Structure 1
Amino acid sequence: MRSTFYGLEIAKTGLFVSRNEMDITGHNISNVDTVGYTRQRLSTEAIPAAQYGSFLKPDLSGLSGKGVRTIRVDQVRNPFLDIQYRKESATAAKWSMQEQYFGYVEALFNNELDNMETSTGLSGMFGNLYSSLDKLAQGMTPDSEMRTNVRVSAESLISSLHYTYGRLVEQQQTLDQTVEVTVGYINDYAKEIAALNEQIFSYELSGAKANDLRDQRNLLVDELAEIVDITYNEDGNGYYSIEMDGQYLVRHTQYKTLATDKTLANPAGGTLNNLNEIYWADSKGNPTSKKVEVRDGALYGYLQVRDGSSDDNYGIPHVVNKLNSLAQMIVTEFNAIHEKGWTMPYTDPATGTTTASRTGVKFFDDMGDVTQVTAGNISLSQDIKDSVYNIAASDVEVAQAGEENEQRGNNLIANELCQLLTRKDAAGNDDNFDGVYTEIVTGIATAQNHFNTLASSQTVVATQVDEQRKSVSGVSLDEEMTNVVRFGHAYNAASRVITAIDEELDVLINKMGLVGRA
């Protein structure tokens, strides 16, 4: 036969479970704004029924439930959405970083698209050089003044190329430092995740769930997945194993680290001699010979902008290579015309030395091999630096003033140089230096627009998946307030059962058998 107080025990289990559910609801509400927090819920089960004898059926046993008990406190998560979000967020971070850092490159050139004819941009510098050469060809001012204007215009063009090249190299150096710092972040994440693996395993040995520690670990994995492409899995003991480039980054309580080494030749062929390459590190943190191939995430975006050297992989080196090609084109074509011309004879006022007209003078320094010329080192030849009279305008020798049958030359070379700056193809399109530069600027704008579009669309995809994930794992105040009411009613009902049983027991203990007593 059942115990007299059996019903109290049943109601007590309901009271305790309702109290636990209310505590968990309060914990959820308290962490509604906690980044990375996962909604928790109490898993319960009915306590197996007890058997006791039945007077109605003395041959059989009656069955009665013993109430409810707690199994564990679970996190409400969808592992599939976690995997999908981390994949999409890595791709979104890749395009966002390319958009952000290539945007700095575009900023160097963006004024050109709006103000192609202003004197402040490189296109304006070509215009100034043309204007000064045109005046030289027309003989509008004295020789020295006209030639000085040509040299000043050329120096301004050179300075603009140097400035743009220098800023690009600075941005590449900044990205290289960012790569190094990001590798340090990856190492920190690996260390923290391995430490949390150990804490979670130790905590869950008792059978409880280390939900808040798991939240910390999941948040770290989210952040790591934005930086670099990873795969991961959880074993039966609660350990996370994380792989990167086919190697374990974290396995149980052990983790590996990465290291950087400046061994990568600068693909831009500029002033940087080396760039950081990423390797797996040994136990002392030194790089091994095993390189790390990065395929996605923010780190991949940094590397693409830092190293990209083709139309399909548009990065700083590709822009620098195009500027270098423009500089080499300027030197080659300008010198080819200028070397055919004849300089002006002149007398040095300081020494009285007279220099006769001569031909074969280079306008720009070709460094002995024009392929060595870059936008960062292009310069005037030493002859032009020494004297503006070495700027050739005539295709015939120029006699000194006062010579018999003096020939003061002509303006054919100056005109030919002007035509070089305004040349057009058969279709009427610019086939000159300014046209090449305009193509560079337009290509940069097109690439940046491509990055903007992909970053925006991929961010939308990642956000949508995250919203789906939050709809499962996030805390809804409306839902939690409903639970407060529901669990409150359950608690009150269990309390009412105890009160009812107490009243029954009071009758049984204090009032039964008293009838007829004095």
Structure 2
Amino acid sequence: MSGLFQIFSVSKNGMFAQQTALHTNAHNIANANTDGYSVQRVNLKTTEPFGMPALTTPAEPGQLGTGVKVDSITRARDTFLDAQIRKENSTQGKYGVREQFLSEIESIFMEPSDEGLASSLTKFWDSWHQLATNPESSTARTLVAQNGDALATDISHHYTQLEDMERNAGDLIRNDVFDVASTLTQIRDLNEQIRAVSISGRNPNDLMDRRDLLLDNLS
């Protein structure tokens, strides 16, 4: 009769293990479109076999097992790749912002072109050259004054645009600092939850996914 109960016990252990595997698969399917979700896998291991043969137990061809159990539920994730991706995202972000502001500066000065500041400077110095060649010419004096006014207007306009760009950059930095502070607070809270769950002997997979997603966004 004891052998029959042992068979039932092995079957029960197997059913519980497969039930956990089915539940995990359903969880994976349900989160197929969840941003930052890592596929979870169930790691199985054999349960402790029956004790070593003794004088009071019959000899068996092999040590009898007692079934299977869930060893752990882990994420299919590579921490090394995570670190590399975040590093490259950070580098891409740095050069992306640099390109953005350099493009804005280029559009302000419009160089090289006939409408840029260099063109106004050239006209201004050419008018002075004409005045130096013919100092008695009222036309040359008028041209110097006109080109001087035009140059001053261009410089003032460029300065205003650069001030606006500086102001926008400051606003962007302040917003980013606020977002970073908020993200770090969320990561701190998640770390506390992850620690509490880990102490209990379980893997806080979903919490770690949320933390990794925040780290990805932070990079």
Larger helix fraction of residues = 2
Kindly indicate whether the alpha-carbon contact (under 8 Å) linking 1:40 and 1:73 is maintained by their aligned counterparts in 2: yes
Larger strand fraction of residues = 1
Larger Rg: 1 or 2? 1
**Residue in 2 that maps onto 1:101:** 101
Query: For residues 219 and 153 of structure 1, what CA distance do their matches in structure 2 show?
Result: 57
TM-score normalised per structure 2: 0.82
User: CA deviation digits over 1:464-497, x for unaligned, max 9?
Assistant: xxxxxxxxxxxxxxxxxxxxxxxxxxxxxxxxxx
The alpha carbon displacement at 1:74 in A equals: 0.8
User: CA deviation digits over 1:186-218, x for unaligned, max 9?
Assistant: 221221111111212223333221111111111
Q: How does 1:260-275 map to 2 (within 5 A)?
A: none
**Residue in 1 that maps onto 2:11:** 11
Query: For residues 77 and 27 of structure 1, what CA distance do their matches in structure 2 show?
Result: 16
Q: Residue 207 of structure 2 is aligned with which of 204, 210, 213?
A: 213
Query: For residues 100 and 196 of structure 1, what CA distance do their matches in structure 2 show?
Result: 34
The alpha carbon displacement at 1:180 in A equals: 2.5
1:148 equivalent to 2:142? Answer yes
Kindly indicate whether the alpha-carbon contact (under 8 Å) linking 1:51 and 1:61 is maintained by their aligned counterparts in 2: no
Query: For residues 50 and 70 of structure 1, what CA distance do their matches in structure 2 show?
Result: 18
Query: For residues 26 and 96 of structure 1, what CA distance do their matches in structure 2 show?
Result: 40
Identical counterparts, % of pairs:
28
Q: Please, which runs of 5 or more residues in structure 1 have no aligned partner? A: 227-518
Tell me how many residue pairs correspond in the alignment.
215
Query: For residues 124 and 53 of structure 2, what CA distance do their matches in structure 1 show?
Result: 112
1:171 equivalent to 2:165? Answer yes
**Residue in 2 that maps onto 1:124:** 119
Structure 1 letter corresponding to 2:206 = D
Q: How does 1:372-383 map to 2 (within 5 A)?
A: none
Q: How does 1:359-398 map to 2 (within 5 A)?
A: none
- Supply the RMSD in Å over aligned alpha carbons: 2.9
C-alpha change, 1:59 and 1:152, in structure 2 (3 Å) is: closer
**Residue in 2 that maps onto 1:158:** 152
SS in 2 for 1:50: coil
The alpha carbon displacement at 1:92 in A equals: 2.3
Q: Please, which runs of 5 or more residues in structure 2 have no aligned partner? A: none
The alpha carbon displacement at 1:137 in A equals: 6.8
1:196 equivalent to 2:190? Answer yes
Kindly indicate whether the alpha-carbon contact (under 8 Å) linking 1:74 and 1:211 is maintained by their aligned counterparts in 2: yes
User: CA deviation digits over 1:261-307, x for unaligned, max 9?
Assistant: xxxxxxxxxxxxxxxxxxxxxxxxxxxxxxxxxxxxxxxxxxxxxxx
C-alpha change, 1:44 and 1:16, in structure 2 (3 Å) is: same
SS in 1 for 2:77: coil
C-alpha change, 1:94 and 1:182, in structure 2 (3 Å) is: same
TM-score normalised per structure 1: 0.38
Query: For residues 138 and 221 of structure 1, what CA distance do their matches in structure 2 show?
Result: 68
Kindly indicate whether the alpha-carbon contact (under 8 Å) linking 1:52 and 1:61 is maintained by their aligned counterparts in 2: no
The alpha carbon displacement at 1:51 in A equals: 5.1
C-alpha change, 1:87 and 1:138, in structure 2 (3 Å) is: closer
User: CA deviation digits over 1:158-194, x for unaligned, max 9?
Assistant: 1111211222232223222322322222221221111
C-alpha change, 1:134 and 1:72, in structure 2 (3 Å) is: same
Query: For residues 206 and 131 of structure 1, what CA distance do their matches in structure 2 show?
Result: 82
SS in 2 for 1:43: strand
**Residue in 2 that maps onto 1:112:** 111
